[in-house]
Homo-oligomer: A and B are copies of this chain.
Amino acid sequence: MVIVMKAGATAAEIASVIKHVESLGFRAHLSEGEERTIIGMVGDERPIDPSSLEVLSGVERVLPILRPFKLASRDFKKQNTVIHLRVKQRTITIGNSEIAMMAGPCAVESREQILETARLVREAGATILRGGAFKPRTSPYSFQGHGEIALEWLAEAREAYGLAIVTEVMSPEQVPLVAKYADILQVGARNMQNFALLHAVGEARKPVLLKRGLSATMEELLMAAEYILSHGNYEVMLCERGIRTFEKYTRNTLDINAVPVLKQLSHLPVIVDPSHGTGKWEYVIPVSRAAIAAGADGLIVEVHPNPAEAWSDGAQSLTPQNYRVLVEQVRRVAAAVDRAL
């Protein structure tokens, strides 16, 4: 960390800060500028709370130097993390040159609905089925998901169509249950900093799809991944699903920059969710093309056999026909950046 002293800081204040820095086990490195004295702390600053240094007499502010994440960083691991899913003899890989195609309804509404959607997205080219059994809803009066029975229907769809399953887990005690049925555990945007949940999925032995919080920075997303990695689960996918901005014509603002930035800073696969990232089905196809052009490793897209009848997220769900169009267009863009579906 670099400690910036106030303009009028006295020699006694500077000496006292140096003494404090040394008492924490760091070397202090003094640099006197024309207007400000700055003190560098030499050592691994990550366990130190910069806030406690700001309160020292004569200190103006404290600037961290190191990125706070370690295991999630490219400094730590140079090669891309590649995740392998085994489904009925087939292996689906995520994070190499192949684009992962995840698709399905917002919520599992019935056995028929999920089986039909599974068939349709499989035919269109998806390899992973999404669908919520436990639904985080802003209102206590909205449908909260069918729970375990929906997990069973998902497992049935897995068997029937050879699709891997990604589904959300909402609390630590649900982890064993969901892990029994799912190939990928999804941590939702509202739970990105639910540390008890991150801890629990970190101890599970299933890949995790970690969604970026509604107004989380990429650093916070990477720190949330760090929680999972630090508990021993190294198979984490980072999911950009749009952030909250002032814009009202779209539900969220998909942060396309996040794709190259996360790929540069981290070795973890980056998945894009254009359905939540835009909130309107008309924009899902062009934004999916953009995600792949920017270098994303996969897409997770909401598809419903009949969006007008969807119990949630109808406006952002594609019809199966439109999903087929999406797959074809994405295939062409993927080829233009030397990748394949």
Nearest Cβ on chain B to A203's Cβ, whole angstroms: 13
A341 on interface, CB distance cutoff 8 Å: no
Docked-complex contact A136 and B217, CB < 8 angstroms: no
- In the bound complex, how far is the Cα of B194 from the Cα of A75, in angstroms? 33
Judged by DSSP, the binding face of A is: mixed
Docked-complex contact B52 and A308, CB < 8 angstroms: yes
**A51 contacts which chain B residues (CB < 8 A)?**
310, 312-316
- In the bound complex, how far is the Cα of B275 from the Cα of A13, in angstroms? 25
A42 on interface, CB distance cutoff 8 Å: yes
Q: Among B195, B250, B259, which residue has its beta carbon within 8 angstroms of that of A170?
A: B195
Tell me the nearest residue of chain B to A306, going by C-beta: B55
Given contacts A190-B194, A195-B137, A336-B336, contact A65 B257 (CB under 8 A): no
**A194 contacts which chain B residues (CB < 8 A)?**
171, 190-191, 194
Docked-complex contact B246 and A315, CB < 8 angstroms: no
A22 on interface, CB distance cutoff 8 Å: no
**A215 contacts which chain B residues (CB < 8 A)?**
214-215, 244-246
Q: Among B46, B250, B294, which residue has its beta carbon within 8 angstroms of that of A257?
A: B250
Q: Among B31, B139, B231, B244, which residue has its beta carbon within 8 angstroms of that of A40?
A: B31
- In the bound complex, how far is the Cα of B243 from the Cα of A255, in angstroms? 10
Given contacts A137-B195, A245-B253, 8 further A-B contacts (CB under 8 A): A31-B42, A33-B43, A52-B315, A56-B308, A173-B173, A218-B249, A289-B293, A333-B337
Task: Give residues in A with beta carbon < 8 Å to B.
Answer: 2, 4, 7, 20, 29, 31-36, 38, 40, 42-44, 46-47, 49-56, 63, 65-66, 68, 75, 136-142, 144, 170-174, 190-191, 193-197, 214-220, 223, 226-227, 230-231, 243-250, 253-261, 264-265, 277-278, 280-283, 286-287, 289-295, 307-317, 329, 332-333, 335-337
**4 closest Cβ pairs, A-B complex:** A52-B314, A293-B293, A171-B196, A215-B215
